[in-house]
Amino acid sequence: MYVTDSIRIFYTIYFISVCLFFTWFIRKIRKSDVSQIETDEKKSGIDKRELRFFLILISIIILAHIITISNMVPWQRWRLWSKPIVVKTYNIEVSDYNFKFPEEPITFEKNQFVEFVLNSTDVTYGFGVFRKDGTLVFQIQVLPGYKNRFVWNFSQSGYYDVRSTEYSGPKHSDMVVYDAIKVL
Amino acid sequence: MENNELTFETKWTIRYVLAALGFLFLTIIEGMMMRISHIKPDCLSTEHFYSVMTVHPILGIYGYAYMAIMGAFYFLMPYLLKTQVYNKKLIPLNFWMQSIGVIIVWCSGFFTKFNALYTLYWPLPVWFSRISNLGAVIFCLGAAITLVNILLFTYNIFATMIKRKPVNGAEKSKLYSFGDYLKSAFGLDRIFKKKKEIQEENKLYDTLPVFVVAVARGSIDTVVNAFVILTCGILILIFAIPSLLGFGTLNPHIIDALIYKNWFWWGLDMIADGNVLMYAAGTWYLLIPMLVNRKLFGEGVVRTVILADLLISLGVWSHHLLADQPQPLAMHLISGQFITSGEIVTVGLTIFASLMTIYLARPVKFTPALKFILVSMFGFMLGAVAGITQANYGLNVVLHNTQWVIGIHGHTMLLLGLSPLLFAIVYALIPLLLNREMKSHMLVNLHLIFWVAGVLIMVIAMGSAGLNGMLRRTIYHGIEFKTEMNIAMIGGISIVIGFLCLLINLIRTLTLKTIINIVFPLRRTMN
C-alpha cells in the first residue's frame, strides 16, 4: 500500500464524517429543543465546550504531526531521523526542456540509498519519479542556481519514468522520459 | 423600490456585485476550456492553454472575489459603524481601476498568449524565448493597476474606520490614530498597557463590531499582499521593458530564484492563508447573528482568534516551498508545517463559534443566505484539512503539484468555501438593499444543489487523479486520467447550471430595467 492510499482512506473517512455531521446538524437546527435552549452566555472568557473543542483540535494536530514525522511515513526515516550512506550520486542537468542523465537508464539496485543532484541552467523545473502505473514516487523542485539534492531508497525493482513536475514554459508537458530509471 | 430611490452606495454595491458575477462567468468559461483540454488535449494550443491557466486565477480572485468583497464592504462598513465612506469618489474609481486592471491582465493572455502562470516563478516571466515579452509588460501593468487600486481601497476602508464621519444625528464617537489601530490590530495594546488601564478602558478593537475587526485585521494582509506582488511586478518590468525597447537584456540569474520565491509566496499567501480566512470569518460573524437573530457565541474568543489568524498568516508561506530542497529544513518544518497547522485551530474555532450560534438559536429559518453559509462552512472544513495534509514535510513529497493540491484543496476552498459565502452575501444584501426577496426560491435551491454537487464531483475527481499521480499544470496526450477528467467535466457542467440559476434569479429579482438603469445611469446622484 502506498502512502497516497493511506491519504485516500483518511480523507474519505474524514469526508464522510463531515457529511454525516452536517446531516445531523441540519436536522437538529430545524427543530426546537426547549429543554436545552440556553440564554445568552453571561460569563466572560472561554466557554467550556469551546475549550474542550480547542483541546481536541490541538490533540489531533499534535497526533498528526507525530504520525507524519515518524517512520510511519517511510521516507522520514532517512529524511529526518538518520544520515543515510549514499551508495551512488547521479548528477542530472536540466536545461532547454531536457533532462540530461549521466546514463540511460540510470541503473542501481533496490534498497540502496541513491542521491540525485539536479542543476538547472535556465528556469525552474521539477523532477518527479513515477511508477509504471502512473503513481508518484517522489518529486522535487529544480531551482536554477542551486544544487537540488534529494536522497531516495527504492524498495521495488522495475522501471520508473521521470517527468518535470513544475511548469517551465509551454513545452513543459513534453518533459517526460519513459524508463529513465531501472531498479534491479 | 425605484432606481432613483437607491442611494449612491447601494447603486455602486449592486454594480460591484454585477461586475463580480461577470468576472465569475468569464472565470467559469476559462475553467471549462481547461476541462475540455484535459479530455481533448489538441483543442487548444499549449500556449493558449497555459495563457488561459495564467489569467484564470487572476480573474477569479482579483476580478470576481475582490469586486464582490469591495462592493459588500463599501456598503457594510459604513452601515455597521454608522458613518459614511471616507472618500466617496474612490468608490467608482476603485470599481473602474479594478475592472480595467483585471481586463488588461486578461488581454495579456488573449492577445499575446502570456503564459508564465500566476506563480511567476523566477526567471520564467523574463525568459523571453518562452514567454511573450510584450505580454509580460501588459500583464504586469494590469496587475499593477489592480494592486494599486487594492491599496487605495484598503486606505479608504481604514480611513472610514479611523476618521469616522457620523451620519446625520448620530453621536460622534471617539477618534483614534492609525498607530492606535495598528497596535491594537496586533494585540500590542494588551501587552503594553498596564492591567489597571485595561480594566478601566476597553481595548480599541473590543469597541468595534467583530466584522469590522476581521476586515481591519484582514486588510493588513491585503496591504502586504498588494505591496509584495507589486514589487515582483516592478522587478519583471525592469527586465521586460528594456528588452522590449531593444536596449538589450539583463541577466535574469542576478536575481536569486529561492529568495524571490520566498518573497513572492510570503506576499501571495497573504490572500489564501490570510485575508480570505479573516474576511470569511468576519462575514460569518456578521451574517449568522443577523440571520438567526442571536448574539454571536463566544465573541471574546472570536476576537482573539482573528488576531491569531493575522499572526499565523504572517508565518506560513514556506508550505509552498516544501519541495524546494535548498530551503532550510527549519523553514520547512516550522513555517511550512507547524505554524501552518495553526490555521486548522483558527478555522476550527471560527466554525465552532459560528455553528454554536446557529445551534443555540434553533429552530432556525433556512433562508437562502443561511443555506449558503452552511455550505461555505462545509467547504472550508473539507478544503482546509486537504490543505493541511499537503502542507506537511512528509506527505508533500507525493502531493506537491498534483491535482490534489488544486482540486480537493484549492477549488474546494474557492468554490465550496469562499464562493458560497459570497453568494450568501448577495442573498443577504438584496433584501437589505432593495427591500425585496429573491424572486424564486426554487432557483435558489437549484443553484445550491447544482453548484454543490458540481463542485464535489469535480474536486473529488481531481483529487483522486492527483493521488493516482496526475500533475497540475500538465497536459496528458495519452489515455491516462481520462476517466477522472470526464467525471470532472460532468461536475463542471453542473457548476455552470448552478451559476445560470443564480444569474436568472438575480435578473428576475432586480428586473432587467433596474439593472440597465444601474449599469447605465441617466443622471448622476450623490445622495
| A25 near B CB under 8 A | yes
Q: Give the C-alpha separation, B388 to B344, whole Å.
A: 8
- Residues 118-177 on B with a CB inside 8 Å of A are 119, 121-124, 127, 130-131
- Comparing B102 with B186, the larger pLDDT belongs to B102
Q: Provide the 8-state DSSP code for A41.
A: P
Q: Give how far A107 is from chain B: nearest CA, Å.
A: 22
Q: Give the C-alpha separation, A42 to A51, whole Å.
A: 16
Instruction: List CB contacts (< 8 A) between A46 and chain B.
Output: 298, 300-301
| Rounded average pLDDT over A70-77 | 96
| A30 near B CB under 8 A | yes
Q: Which residue of A has its CA nearest to B354?
A: A50
| Rounded average pLDDT over B74-100 | 93
User: Over chain A, what is the mean pLDDT?
Assistant: 93
Measure CB to CB from residue A68 to each of B356, B394, B468 and give the nearest one.
B394
Q: Give the C-alpha separation, A109 to A113, whole Å.
A: 9
Cβ B450 vs Cβ B501: under 8 Å: yes
User: H or E segment at B51?
Assistant: helix B46-58
Of A118, A167, A170, which Cα lies nearest the Cα of A144? A118
Q: Which residue of A has its CA nearest to B129?
A: A169
Residue B359: the pLDDT is: 95
| B400 near A CB under 8 A | yes
Residue to test with chain B: of A143, A149, A168, A175, most B Cβ within 10 A: A143
Does A75 contact B345 at a Cβ distance shorter than 8 Å? no
Q: Give the C-alpha separation, A10 to A60, whole Å.
A: 13
Residue B527: the pLDDT is: 41
**Which of A170-174, B36-40, B302-306 comes out lowest in average pLDDT?**
B302-306
Residue B95: the pLDDT is: 97
Q: Give the C-alpha separation, A183 to A160, whole Å.
A: 8
- Give strand pairing partners of A153: A113
Q: Evaluate if residue A47 carries a pLDDT over 90.
A: no
Q: Provide the 8-state DSSP code for B60.
A: I
| Rounded average pLDDT over A14-41 | 83
Each residue of B203-230: pLDDT tens digit? 666 677 888 889 888 999 999 999 999 9
Q: Give how far B77 is from chain A: nearest CA, Å.
A: 26
Instruction: List CB contacts (< 8 A) between A63 and chain B.
Output: none
Sheet holding A113-120, edge to edge: A98-100, A88-95, A113-120, A148-153
Q: Which residue of A has its CA nearest to B465?
A: A135
Q: Which residues contact B21 (CB under 8 A, 6 or more apart)?
A: B64, B502, B503, B506
Measure CB to CB from residue A148 to each of B321, B325, B386 and give the nearest one.
B325
Residue to test with chain B: of A11, A78, A89, most B Cβ within 10 A: A11
Q: Give the C-alpha separation, B519 to B513, whole Å.
A: 10
Q: Which residue of A has its CA nearest to B47?
A: A170
Instruction: List CB contacts (< 8 A) between A41 and chain B.
Output: 297-298
Of B261, B400, B488, B392, which Cα lies nearest the Cα of A163? B400
User: H or E segment at B72?
Assistant: helix B66-81
User: Over chain B, what is the mean pLDDT?
Assistant: 91
When pLDDT is cut at 50, 70 and 90, the band that residue B201 belongs to is low
Q: Give how far A103 is from chain B: nearest CA, Å.
A: 23
DSSP 3-state of B14:
helix
Q: Evaluate if residue A118 carries a pLDDT over 60.
A: yes
| B258 near A CB under 8 A | yes
| A8 near B CB under 8 A | yes
Beta strands at A136-142 and A176-183: parallel, antiparallel or unpaired? unpaired
Each residue of B26-72: pLDDT tens digit? 999 999 999 999 999 999 999 999 999 999 999 999 999 999 999 99
Each residue of A51-60: pLDDT tens digit? 999 999 999 9
When pLDDT is cut at 50, 70 and 90, the band that residue B526 belongs to is very low
Question: What share of chain B in percent tops pLDDT 90?
Answer: 76
Does A138 contact B301 at a Cβ distance shorter than 8 Å? no
Q: Give the C-alpha separation, B304 to B389, whole Å.
A: 25
| Rounded average pLDDT over B80-106 | 95
Each residue of A81-114: pLDDT tens digit? 999 999 999 999 999 999 999 999 999 999 999 9
Measure CB to CB from residue B300 to each of A44, A137, A167 and give the nearest one.
A44
What ipTM does this complex have? 0.94
Residue B193: the pLDDT is: 63
| B435 near A CB under 8 A | no
How many angstroms separate the most distant Cα atoms in chain B? 71
Each residue of B381-417: pLDDT tens digit? 999 999 999 999 999 999 999 999 999 999 999 999 9
Does B467 contact A8 at a Cβ distance shorter than 8 Å? yes
Instruction: List CB contacts (< 8 A) between B463 and chain A.
Output: 11
Q: Which residue of B has its CA nearest to A14?
A: B382
Q: Which residue of A has its CA nearest to B471?
A: A165
Full DSSP string of A158-181: EEEEEE--S--STTGGG-EEEEEE
| B47 near A CB under 8 A | yes
Q: Which residue of A has its CA nearest to B326?
A: A148
| A103 near B CB under 8 A | no
Q: Evaluate if residue B442 carries a pLDDT over 60.
A: yes
Each residue of B157-167: pLDDT tens digit? 988 888 776 55
Residue B299: the pLDDT is: 86
Instruction: List CB contacts (< 8 A) between A140 and chain B.
Output: 323-325
| A122 near B CB under 8 A | yes
Residue B493: the pLDDT is: 98
Instruction: List CB contacts (< 8 A) between B468 and chain A.
Output: 4, 134-135
Cβ A114 vs Cβ A90: under 8 Å: yes
Q: Residue A91 phi/psi, 5° resolution?
A: -90, 120
Q: Which residue of B has its CA nearest to A70?
A: B394
Residue B213: the pLDDT is: 87
For the record, the C-alpha cell of B359 comes out as: 445551534
For the record, the C-alpha cell of B287 comes out as: 451574517
When pLDDT is cut at 50, 70 and 90, the band that residue B119 belongs to is very high
| Rounded average pLDDT over B181-187 | 70
Residue A37 exposed, middle or buried by CB count within 10 Å (0-12, 13-18, 19+): exposed
Residue B81: the pLDDT is: 84
- Comparing B430 with A164, the larger pLDDT belongs to A164
| Rounded average pLDDT over B354-362 | 95
| B301 near A CB under 8 A | yes
Measure CB to CB from residue A123 to each of B124, B349, B355 and give the nearest one.
B124
